[in-house]
Structure 1
């Protein structure tokens, strides 16, 4: 858990998906000219990044939005992501 499971790079924009706990995923977008190796599990690692946590609802086959770093802050987001990755 907590490891990158998919990624994509288009020029300098990079996207990563991390598997957290069952049915929870973290999406991370960043400009790799500003941030080379972001760590979504630390406040400092989220600087210059956009990150979201989604939950997959198997019953209805859809994703629901759980948290976004720019809404709850990097520290709270990193704490939540770490908790979901290690729970």
Structure 2
């Protein structure tokens, strides 16, 4: 997926996403671009990451704060599993 496609999926402007994808990768486990292809991402990994965010979000009426380390760990595990299926 191109930078523009990924930015649209994560609901950001392409310019802003270009500046922040590394931070997203380091802090919340966003997939890295495919090696040797520039800013091109695997559609399957990006969609899995987005689905993981939706699954890891606490219900709207939950008063307990979300433990981000647990969410990130779950997303990383899901990405590792997705990458081994290649």
Question: What is the TM-score when the length of structure 1 is the normalising length?
Answer: 0.35
Task: Specify the structure having the higher radius of gyration (Cα).
Answer: 2
Higher strand share: 1
Higher helix share: 2
Question: What is the TM-score when the length of structure 2 is the normalising length?
Answer: 0.35
